[in-house]
Amino acid sequence: MSAVLPIEEYVEQAYLFDALAKQFTADPELQRPIQTMLLWLKQEVLATTKLPMAIDYLVAEIKHVGTLSTAMAKMPHYFAPFQTYLIGAAEEESGRFDIWQAFRILHQEALLRSQKVNPTALFFFQFETLCRNRLGYDYGVEAMSRDPVYDTNWAKWVLAVRHKVGIVDITDLVYVHSELYVQNEGRRVGDSFQVPDPVLFSEKEGRIALANRHKEPLFFFSSLQRHLAFPATPRPPKIDEAKSFIPKMVRQIERLESRIRLLEEEQRSQGIDLSQFYEKPTKPKKDLLG
């Protein structure tokens, strides 16, 4: 089972994920294997934390299996389930979630954990991450429910959200479990009103949720960030097609030139000389004992 770690562990995790994110955004020709980066970073992080031992296990798993998420899943006492889920989603071959974006999010999340973030802010940060990056709600919310930051009431409610998301708006779910809903319905219904269990959100959070009903969920998260200074998840990067336009055009011109040369050769010699594409046979090496 995962547990809340000391602050210095999250500070070092944030440094690790930030360094890995910067490495993946550098020049592709300068990028180094992730296991090499981990071994270098192992020398920089505090030796008094447990992160160096975790890095050793990550490197061993990469060499053996080729993935990070499998190693993180075997260390639930150190890495939170949501952290493991993000890396696993980035490692899926069929997915569109980039490993660089996963490291950026994990860097920001580790910073929040190092500041002893409250469960409300962490819930909105993690849920916004799922929304903005179009990740699966089923496994994503289930991983959130097992986070050590959430107590029993929070974990039970988050797990219930897993079955309601997509059917009920997140703003309605937040409003019904806020102090504002208790006040409004208490005045309207009277003594027969039953307080929902649990009440997790404040009056301000309920008011913002009520104002954003039937709207895009991202507007709701932006309102929380403006009015309550909740942390925002890193935005997915916009792809600059202008940078890749010229290299693509150069490759297309090269292919056109090769096709034109083949057509000209066919017209001159009544056919294409395929011998130029044959691989030249190599001489067999002499046996040292022969």
pLDDT at 258: 83
**145-182 pLDDT per residue, tens:** 999 999 999 999 999 999 898 889 999 999 999 999 99
User: How far apart, in whole angstroms, are the C-alpha atoms of residue 49 and residue 102?
Assistant: 23
Which is higher by pLDDT, 236 or 133? 133
User: How far apart, in whole angstroms, are the C-alpha atoms of residue 163 and residue 143?
Assistant: 13
User: How far apart, in whole angstroms, are the C-alpha atoms of residue 70 and residue 106?
Assistant: 17
How many other C-beta atoms can be found within 10 angstroms of the C-beta atom of residue 278?
A: 8
Residue 152, phi then psi, degrees to nearest 5: -60, -45
**69-91 pLDDT per residue, tens:** 999 999 999 999 999 999 999 99
For residues 111 and 151, state if they share a domain: no
pLDDT at 242: 64
User: How far apart, in whole angstroms, are the C-alpha atoms of residue 190 and residue 203?
Assistant: 19
**Long-range Cβ contacts of 149-156 (<8 Å, 24+ apart):** 149/4, 149/113, 149/117, 149/119, 149/122, 150/119, 150/122, 150/123, 151/119, 153/198, 153/200, 154/119, 154/123, 154/198, 154/200, 156/198
**34-61 pLDDT per residue, tens:** 899 999 999 999 999 999 999 999 999 9
- Per-chain mean pLDDT for the chain: 87
pLDDT exceeds 80 at position 27: no
CATH of residue 78's domain is 1.20.81
What distance lies between CA 83 and its chain's CA centroid?
8
Report the percentage of the chain scoring pLDDT > 90. Answer: 60
Contact 143, 84 (CB under 8 A): yes
Taking every pair of Cα atoms in the chain, the longest distance, rounded to a whole number of angstroms, is: 103
Residue finishing a domain among 72, 87, 116: 116
pLDDT exceeds 80 at position 8: yes
pTM for this predicted structure: 0.79
Q: What is the DSSP string of 145-175?
A: HT-TTS-HHHHHHHHHHHHHBTTB-HHHHHH
Residue 257 within a domain? no
Residue 277 within a domain? no
User: How far apart, in whole angstroms, are the C-alpha atoms of residue 221 and residue 124?
Assistant: 7
User: How far apart, in whole angstroms, are the C-alpha atoms of residue 3 and residue 86?
Assistant: 18
For residues 48 and 154, state if they share a domain: no
pLDDT at 191: 75
Find, among 49, 19, 48, the residue nearest to 36 by Cα: 19
pLDDT at 209: 95
For residues 151 and 141, state if they share a domain: yes
pLDDT at 14: 96
Q: Work out how many domains the chain is built from and give that number.
A: 2
Contact 33, 6 (CB under 8 A): no
pLDDT exceeds 90 at position 235: no
Residue finishing a domain among 56, 84, 116: 116
Residue 173 within a domain? yes
For residues 156 and 187, state if they share a domain: yes
- What is the domain extent for residue 11? 1-116
Residue finishing a domain among 116, 150, 174: 116
User: How far apart, in whole angstroms, are the C-alpha atoms of residue 180 and residue 208?
Assistant: 10
